[in-house]
Structure 1
Amino acid sequence: MSSSQQLEVGEGEESGLDEELRKQAVRETGRGSASPAGRKVTFGFHLVEGKTPHGMEDRHVAEFRRLEDGNEVGLFAVFDGHAGADVATYLREHLFDDILREPGFWTDTVDAIRRTYHRTDRRVLEMTEEEGDGEERRRRNAGSTADVGAGAGTEFVVLASDGLWKVMSNQECVDAVRGTADARKAAAELVGEALERGSADDIACVVVRLH
């Protein structure tokens, strides 16, 4: 595979938000691109801190990584912090490394990811139990997250924390992104729309354009 990844990270000057919304703390904004196997993929991200007093708890990953065997993978995720940023930070720093080291990743990717998720979940629970709140964490995370599939014809992927999904539907996000070629601008516009709709939570948004 060949790639020429480029990554730009800014502080929100070109975020696409109006002056009033820009006053809300922009934590990170940036864009990148790569051409694995000669196919250009672009991505953009935009993160803002919410109005709640706990500080920014959301984390993200958006990068292409070349492995020692020469293969290249795109790594994209949003980790929505709850009751602190410790778990989200741990996942950002460890989850993808653990997945890529999992035996069978290239031959049975889904199963390798599933095994890593289960192992990571146990590790996080062990860490929280050592701090005395493991059972409470279990109760808080007893809910479910909707699964959204992607096929061969997928144009783009939107990953975001619940600061966005609480106020926008999947279709509204699709309609907003489809008309914006620049992935970072698309992410910033989604965040801006969520803020205009009254979202007070932290928001992390990653847009990946596949075509």
Structure 2
Amino acid sequence: MSAEVGFARCGPISVVERRRPSSDASMDLQGKELEDAFDDFLQTPILGRKKKKPELDIEAGGEDLEQGKIRVNVEPHQAASRGDASAKMGPSGEAICGGGQSQSMQPQVVWGFCLLRGLPGRPMGDLHVAEIRIIHGKEVAFFGIFDSHNGDAVAKQLQKNLFNNIVNEGGVWSDPAGATRDAYLLTDRHILDSTEKGGSTAVTAMVCELGGRLIVANLGDSRAVLCKNGKAELVSVKHDPTRPVEKANIETRGGHVTRFPGDQLRVDGKLAVTRAFGDKEMKEHISARPDVADIVIDLSCHFLVLGSNGLFSMFDDQEVVDSVKETDDPVKAARQLVEEARRRLCEDDISCIVVKFQEV
């Protein structure tokens, strides 16, 4: 949640602050035990922890469900995970993982996701979507990571409504990139009308045209990296005040960019990103217009990785791609990335979706 108001907690080099025990012999024993437990958590590898199964809010079984203007048929084979379980995760150190695959796409879409809560005492702020829908008899895959700040109200609305709005824009077949851009702006207007507090970054991917086309969109510092011919290709745009064009846009809107000692650049001294959903009190100065990439999926495209800032603040793009290439299992690949980010002492929530394009 690097975009939250206040000082950033996670960066390329993260120093974890630990209080040293007092020399006073009367130090409260319970407080020392809690402190030791926290130190143990930071130093204990989390490989091998038992995975929790996500609770799905869509029941598979061929049932027709209304999704706005479009009737969506949820087939038994679809491992639909709308991400609600990520908000109900257990203690820090326990990751939630899952995955699924398409049936009729060529190449086949096979995915895995993993989410891990940040430091103890902070609520989980990352939500996700990873699912396939049958629309007009054809499979369409939807993936998204929503990294909230100042509460998770905005991320929950995105999880529930953003992909419905893309479908309802009517351009999934004729103009999926335009439908995505319009749906982002429409969803933000609805959020501003209904939510007074909080915001969220987003990175989304939609695979359509029977697996031949990939639409990636983003706001903020969540990221999408495509492995093409074995090399990392950044297909999202980082929206933060360090980019001159983003800084200029903020100032044109009447805002300003400030850096406090020991902190990063922030819009109006508060927000670490220049584009986001929500953030009603700052909307005059920030934008919800996404950058959208329209990509043809061919034999050079091996897989896509979506991640929150908690993941990509710990890795460079090629390092992520090299890690995923080590395994054919996208669930395992996502879990390994998330666990390694925690071992590198990332204090933030960490979320990752790995989408492989597999010839069958």
- TM-score, normalised to structure 1's length? 0.80
Per-residue deviation, 1:39: 3.5
- Give a deviation string over 1:55-80, Cα, whole Å, max 9, x none: 1010011111112x202101111111
Query: Contact conserved, 1:8 with 1:30, CA < 8 A, in 2?
Result: no
Cross-structure match for 2:77: 5
Cα distance in structure 2, aligned partners of 1:29 and 1:143: 29
Question: Which residue is equivalent to 1:194?
Answer: 341
Match of 1:45 among 106, 110, 113: 113
Higher relative contact order (CA 8 A, sep 6+): 1
In the superposition, relative to structure 1, how do residues 90 and 143 fare at CA in structure 2: closer, same or farther (>3 Å)?
closer
TM-score after normalising by structure 2: 0.49
Structure with larger Rg:
2
Whether 2:217 is the aligned partner of 1:70: answer no
Range with greater deviation from structure 2 (159-168 or 96-105): 96-105
- Higher strand proportion: 2
Measure how far apart 1:187 and its partner are.
0.2
> Unmatched 5+ residue regions in structure 1?
10-21
Tell me the distance in 1 between the aligned counterparts of 2:153 and 2:189: 15
Summarize the Cα distance change of 1:150–1:39 in structure 2 as closer, same or farther, 3 Å threshold: closer
Unaligned 5+ runs, structure 2: 1-74, 82-89, 199-278
Q: Give the 3-state SS of the residue equivalent to 2:110 in structure 1.
A: strand
- Partner Cα separation in structure 2 for residue 118 and residue 165 of structure 1: 25
Q: How far apart, CA to CA, are the structure 2 residues paired with 1:178 and 1:150?
A: 21
Taking the aligned partners of 1:130 and 1:24, their CA distance within structure 2 comes to 25
Q: Deviations over 1:4-36 (max 9, x none)?
A: 835398xxxxxxxxxxxx973435211211222
2:307 maps to 1:160: yes
Please list, as runs of the form range in 1=range in 2, the aligned pairs for 1:12-161 lying within 5 A after superposition: 24-26=92-94, 28-51=96-119, 53-67=121-135, 69-129=136-196, 134-136=280-282, 150-151=295-296, 152=298, 153-161=300-308
Deviation at 1:122, TM superposition (A): 1.6
Q: Secondary structure at the match of 1:80?
A: strand
Amino acid at match of 2:145: V
- Report the residue type matching 1:44 in the other structure: G
| 2:184–2:289 contact (8 Å) kept in structure 1 | no
Q: Which runs of 4+ in 1 moved over 6 A?
A: 143-149
Q: Which amino acid aligns with 2:114?
A: H
- Comparing both structures, which one devotes a greater share of its residues to helix? 1
